[in-house]
Amino acid sequence: GENVEQHPSTLSVQEGDSAVIKCTYSDSASNYFPWYKQELGKRPQLIIDIRSNVGEKKDQRIAVTLNKTAKHFSLHITETQPEDSAVYFCAASDELTGGGNKLTFGTGTQLKVEL
């Protein structure tokens, strides 16, 4: 089965700096890679996703890059703000075969943006 590793487990940055979180996956059949943000005591919410037919996707201050050959993908947050503080989870799935889109998650990165 799929295995997703995520680094770092904690990340502290100064407001306005960039933050980068990296994930690797093991199953070459995986083709869908979402990122979820989970604030303390709240539900995970999708912030961006990428499919294997593209190498990069950007949405305002958030971008995700994918390297299929190396089987890794990264989340980039620029101009960080205090409200970006949360736990971020990467995930991977093979959404085109089998039934459904069951996600395999990384173990999360606690991002803290300091004033």
Query: Residue 108, interface with other proteins (CB under 8 A)?
Result: yes
Q: Three-class SS string for 6-50?
A: EECCEEEEECCCCEEEEEEECCCCCCEEEEEEECCCCCCEEEEEE
Query: Residue 26, interface with other proteins (CB under 8 A)?
Result: no
Q: Which stretch binds other proteins (CB under 8 A): 30-38, 57-65, 68-76, 78-86?
A: 30-38
Q: Which of 33, 85, 106, 111 touches other proteins (CB under 8 A)?
A: 106
The site string for other proteins over 39-58 (x = CB under 8 A, - otherwise) reads ---xxxxx--x---------
Of 81 and 101, nearer to other proteins (C-beta) is: 101
Of 99, 107, 110, 109, whose CA–CA distance to 4 is shortest? 107
Distance between the two ends of the chain, CA-based, in angstroms?
Answer: 41
Q: Which residues bind other proteins (CB under 8 A)?
A: 4, 6, 32, 34, 36, 42-46, 49, 89, 91, 95-96, 98-108
